[in-house]
Amino acid sequence: MAEAPETKPPLEPSVLEDLIRRTRRFMGDIAHDYVKRPLEDLLRWALGRALAYAVAAGIFVAAAVFLLVAGVEGLKSAGLPHAWAYLALGAAGTVSGFLVLRAGRATGKR
């Protein structure tokens, strides 16, 4: 019977191959740090800004609703019929919304 060929142990990397591998890993880590850190900072800033704007918008909407409800109640207590009070404040809200959209469109064109 023929004997199986002897398996040779894997060769250890030479000093030059080991130096190239370590240098490549080192340069990759440096590039990773230079790219990752600024991107993390930018993402953290952008998400923080977006969250702040969302909270401010929510507070603004709640304040607008309370002002409109108070306006309706004030008009009703002044003796205006309920339907006219709601109609007047609905018209005021529509006009102010239109003006806000128009102002936003004008600043976007600059």
At 41-76, the pLDDT tens digits run 889 999 999 999 999 999 998 998 898 889 889 988
Residue 42 lies in a domain: yes
Measure the CA–CA gap between 76 and 74, rounded to whole angstroms.
5
- Average pLDDT of the chain to the nearest whole number: 84
Judged against a pLDDT cut of 60, whether residue 110 lies above it is answered with: no
Q: How confident is the model at residue 16 (pLDDT cuts 50, 70, 90)?
A: confident
Domain with 36, as residue range(s), is 30-108
Residue 82 lies in a domain: yes
Work out how many domains the chain is built from and give that number.
1
pTM of the model: 0.53
